[in-house]
A = this chain, B = another copy of it.
């Protein structure tokens, strides 16, 4: 089943401070301590486990949410697949969004559900 990507563009409008990475740069590494999730403002990000590509996160997709949810180290490595701009969301803002915008919580869950289905398909 091909699904439309889940779209978090509402959180990355003009004026939101973003970080830039060149194609090939590492955004975070598996095992790193984690304080943020990221929304892709422009470009694409590849999620890797060792040499295996788990996923390509498109514009307006999120990544890095797991470590924020369970306070464990990064479970995978994120690499800029193109030149990218990503918007960080810290823990406090994440908890605020979950508490105040149920739609955000549901979209995070949808993203995770899709990742779980993909992971289970690969098993």
Q: Which residues of B contact A99 (CB under 8 A)?
A: 102
Say how far A100's CB is from chain B's closest CB, in angstroms.
8
A109 contacts B108, C-beta separation under 8 Å: yes
A113 contacts B66, C-beta separation under 8 Å: yes
Q: How many copies does the complex hold?
A: 2
**Given the complex of chains A and B, what is the CA–CA distance between A65 and B101 in angstroms?**
19
A123 contacts B69, C-beta separation under 8 Å: no
Chain B binder among A7-15, A16-24, A38-46, A114-122: A114-122
Interface-centre pick from A98, A105, A108, A113 (highest chain B CB count, 10 A): A113
In which size bucket is the chain A interface?
20 to 34
Q: Is A26 positioned at the interface, with any CB of B under 8 Å from its CB? A: no
Knowing A112-B112, A112-B113, A113-B112, the reply to whether A69 touches B106 (Cβ < 8 A) is yes
Q: Which residues of B contact A52 (CB under 8 A)?
A: 123
B75 contacts A116, C-beta separation under 8 Å: yes
Instruction: Name the 6 nearest CB pairs between A and B, nearest first.
Output: A119-B119, A99-B102, A105-B105, A112-B112, A66-B113, A70-B113
